[in-house]
Structure 1
Amino acid sequence: MKMNSDSGLIQALKRYDFTFFGICFAIFLVGVVNLYSATHASQSAHMANLYKTQIGWYAMSLIVGLIVSFIQPKTYFRYSWLIYGLNVFLLVLVLFLGHKGMGARRWILLGPIRLQPSELMKLSVILLLGRWFTKYHPEKESGIKELIPPFILAFVPALLIILEPDLGTGLLVILIFFSIAFFRKLKWKSILIIGLIGILSGGVMYKFGLKEYQRKRILTFINPGADAKGSGYNAIQSKIAIGSGKFLGKGFRKSSQASLNYLPENHTDFVFSIFNEEHGFFGSLFLISLYLILFYRFIWLATSVTKVYDAIVVVGIMSIFFWHTFINMGMVTGLMPIVGLPLPLMSYGGSSLMTFGVCCGVATSISNSRNLF
Structure 2
Amino acid sequence: MDASTIKDFFKRYDFSFFGIAIVIFLFGIINLYSATHASLNDHHANLYKVQLGWFFLSLVVGFAISFIQAKNFQRFSWAIYLFNVFLLVLVLFLGHQGMGARRWLLLGPIRVQPSELMKLSLVFILARWFSKNSPDQEMGIKELIAPLLLTLVPTVLTVLEPDLGTGLLLLLIFFIMAFFRKLKWKSLGIIALVGLISGAAMYQFGLKEYQRNRIKTFINPTADAKGTGYNAIQSKIAIGSGKFLGKGFRKSSQASLNYLPENHTDFVFSIYNEEHGFFGSILLIGLYLFLFYRFIWLSMNVPKIFDSVVIIGLMSIFFWHTFINMGMVMGLLPVVGLPLPLMSYGGSSLLTFGICCGVATSISNSRNMF
Range into which the TM-score falls when normalised by the shorter chain: over 0.9
| AA aligned opposite 2:173 | I
Aligned to 1:87: 84
Aligned to 1:295: 292
Q: How does 1:188-199 map to 2 (within 5 A)?
A: 188-199=185-196
Q: CA deviation at 1:254?
A: 0.4
Q: CA deviation at 1:9?
A: 4.0
* Residue 55 (structure 2) pairs with residue 35 (structure 1): no
Aligned to 2:337: 340
| AA aligned opposite 2:44 | M
Q: How does 1:99-248 map to 2 (within 5 A)?
A: 99-248=96-245
Distance in 2 (CA, whole Å) between partners of 1:372 and 1:255 is: 47
Q: How does 1:25-64 map to 2 (within 5 A)?
A: 25-64=22-61
TM-score (norm 1): 0.98
Aligned to 1:258: 255
Alpha-carbon RMSD across the aligned residues, in angstroms, is 0.9
1:7-41 CA distances to partner (integer Å, 9 max, x unpaired)? 44432332100000000000000000000000001
The answer for unaligned runs of 5 or more in structure 2 is none
Please state whether the residue corresponding to 2:205 is helix, strand or coil: helix
Aligned to 2:18: 21
Distance in 2 (CA, whole Å) between partners of 1:39 and 1:60 is: 22
Contact 2:123–2:313 (Cα < 8 Å) also in 1:
yes
Please state whether the residue corresponding to 2:341 is helix, strand or coil: coil
Q: CA deviation at 1:372?
A: 3.6
1:91-111 CA distances to partner (integer Å, 9 max, x unpaired)? 000000001011111011000
Distance in 2 (CA, whole Å) between partners of 1:8 and 1:204 is: 60
Aligned to 1:282: 279
Q: Percent identity?
A: 73
Distance in 2 (CA, whole Å) between partners of 1:80 and 1:296 is: 26
Distance in 1 (CA, whole Å) between partners of 2:240 and 2:187 is: 41
Distance in 2 (CA, whole Å) between partners of 1:8 and 1:97 is: 49
Equivalenced residue count is: 370
Distance in 2 (CA, whole Å) between partners of 1:110 and 1:10 is: 40
Q: How does 1:310-325 map to 2 (within 5 A)?
A: 310-325=307-322
1:45-75 CA distances to partner (integer Å, 9 max, x unpaired)? 1111111110110000000000000001100
Please state whether the residue corresponding to 1:114 is helix, strand or coil: strand
1:238-268 CA distances to partner (integer Å, 9 max, x unpaired)? 0000001111111110000000000000000
| AA aligned opposite 1:15 | R
The answer for unaligned runs of 5 or more in structure 1 is none
Distance in 1 (CA, whole Å) between partners of 2:85 and 2:28 is: 31
Distance in 1 (CA, whole Å) between partners of 2:78 and 2:5 is: 33
Distance in 1 (CA, whole Å) between partners of 2:4 and 2:153 is: 48
TM-score (norm 2): 0.99
